[in-house]
Amino acid sequence: MGAFDPRVTPARSDLAAHELEGKVAAPRYVAGRTYEVIDPQAPVRGEPRPDAEMTTEALRGERVTVYDMNAEGWAWGQLVADRYVGWLAANALAAAGAPPTHKVSALRTLAFPGPSIKLPPLTGLPLGARLKVVRIADPMAVTDAGAYLPLTHLMPVDRFEIDFVAVAERFLGAPYLWGGKTVLGVDCSGLVQIALTACGLACPRDSDMQEAALGSAVEVGGAVTNWQRGDLIFWKGHVAIVRDGATLIHANAFHMAVTIEPIAEAIARIGGAVTSVRRIT
C-alpha cells in the first residue's frame, strides 16, 4: 500500500475511513457522519487536548466528516472543504442542517439577538463563516437561529470576491497565529487559503500543499520586477503574496503580524532560497 499524507488522510492506527479500505491498513473502517461547525471558529488540533497544537481552524458553517468521538468530548474527522484531518471539540459541532445561503464578507461581523445594533451582540463571526438566512429585514439579515446580522457584511454563497490580493490586504496588521484563519490570528498559508477561497478558488491548507497544487511556475531566477500581483512566493515552510513589482504581503512570525514588505528586503531577511514562484491563473 502506498504512502498517504496524514494531514489529509483520515486514518489512524486503530481506524480509518471506510473509503480507504484496501488502501491503508487498519483494524476497522468507519463510515463518517457529516457535521457542521457551530462556533465562530473551531480549532483543529493534532491531538484531543485543549493544549495540543492547533493545525488549522474550521469556520462557522463548515462541514466536517466525523469518524470518531471519544468520551472526553473530542471529535476526530476531516474537513470537507480542504480535507484536513484532526481533532475538534465535539461541542463546536452539530449535525449538519440545511445548506448555508450566505457567507460573511467582512473581516468580522456581529450577530445580534434582535433588529437593533444597540443590543448586546451574541457573537462575532469571521470572514468566510457561512449561515442560513431565512429572511431579510433590511438593513439586517435574519438566520435560521434567529440571529440578526448586518446585511452589508454578507454575500450569497455563490458570489465571490474578484481580487484575492485585495482580500489579503484587508488583513494588514492582524496578529500572526500558527494554524489561524481569521483576523483574530492567521498564519502565512491560512492567509493565502482564506483569500483564494473568498474568490471561489480551491486552495489546500499548508504552504507545501499550495506550492504543489496552485498555479503555474514563474522563473525564480528572473527579475523580481517580472513577478506580478497575485504571484505566490514560496520558501521551505513559508508563503507570501506579491502585491506589485516591489512589495509583498504575508503573515509572518518575525513581525508576529500580517505585514507589507519590500520583496528584496523580505527575501534577504527570511534567508534560505526561494523554492518557487507560482502564478494563479
pLDDT mean over 48-71: 98
- Between 281 and 85, name the one with better pLDDT: 85
Sheet arrangement for strand 247-252: 216-218, 276-279, 232-235, 238-242, 247-252, 257-262
**Of the ranges 33-47, 210-224, 248-262, which one carries the lowest mean pLDDT score?**
210-224
Grid cell listed for 144? 435560521
Q: Are 252 and 176 in contact (CB under 8 A)?
A: yes
* pLDDT for 225: 61
pLDDT digits (tens, 9 = 90+) for 9-23: 999 999 999 999 999
Residue 178 Cα to chain centre, angstroms: 12
Q: Are 57 and 187 in contact (CB under 8 A)?
A: no
Listed in sequence order, the residues at least 6 apart from 235 whose beta carbon sits closer than 8 Å to its beta carbon are 270, 272, 273, 274, 275
User: pLDDT tier at 257 (50, 70, 90 boundaries)?
Assistant: very high
Is residue 134 scored above 80 in pLDDT? yes
* pLDDT for 226: 82
pTM of the model: 0.95
